[in-house]
Amino acid sequence: MGTSSGNSSMTTKFQSYGSEEDLQLLMDQRKRKRKQSNCESAKRCRLKKQKHLDDLIAQVDKLRKENTEILTRVNIITHHYHKVEAENFILSAQIGELSQRLQSLNDILELMSTTNGVYEMDNCYVTGATDYNFMNPMNMFYLNQPIMASADMFHS
């Protein structure tokens, strides 16, 4: 039997305890134990790998669910943002309109205080405070127009 130097020293060691058949039997038994141990180790490795894969799949499912929830919230918030932005635009326009009206009223008041209640309209003089409500000093009809704000704009 051709053996290497490591096996030959082992062979001589075991020869003192028994025959070559006993030695072969012992080697086969060790080989089987090692093979069984390798099989069990491989099985543990496969189980560990499968558990890791299952954990990753569960994590992917969880993250997909969270992503869907976040996208839903983003869509809701975006919708609310656009709604508030539109309301803000309307309110800004109303501020401009009301500022113009206030300025016109202030101009009328200033004119009233400087002319002592006498107004010239198309070369006619009107005295008193009864006839100026429908016209401003520039002959523009808008003082009796309703303000465009409505209460339902301020509710969500």
Q: Whose structure tokens read 């809701």?
A: 76
Q: What is the pLDDT of residue 133?
A: 46
Report if residue 110 sits inside a domain: yes
Report if residue 41 sits inside a domain: yes
Q: What is the pLDDT of residues 96-154, one digit of tens each?
A: 999 999 999 999 999 988 876 555 555 445 444 444 444 445 544 444 454 555 555 55
Domain extent for 30: 19-145
**156: amino acid identity, one letter:** S
Q: What is the mean pLDDT of residues 5-21?
A: 58
Cα 11 from Cα 56, distance rounded (Å): 51
CB-based contact 45:37 (threshold 8 Å): no
Query: How many domains is the chain partitioned into structurally?
Result: 1
Cα 3 from Cα 15, distance rounded (Å): 14
Which residues are within 8 A (CB) of 150 and not within 5 positions of it... i.e. 6 or more apart? none
Report if residue 70 sits inside a domain: yes
Report if residue 151 sits inside a domain: no
Report if residue 42 sits inside a domain: yes
Report if residue 78 sits inside a domain: yes
Q: How much of the chain exceeds pLDDT 70, in percent?
A: 62
Report if residue 127 sits inside a domain: yes
Report if residue 12 sits inside a domain: no
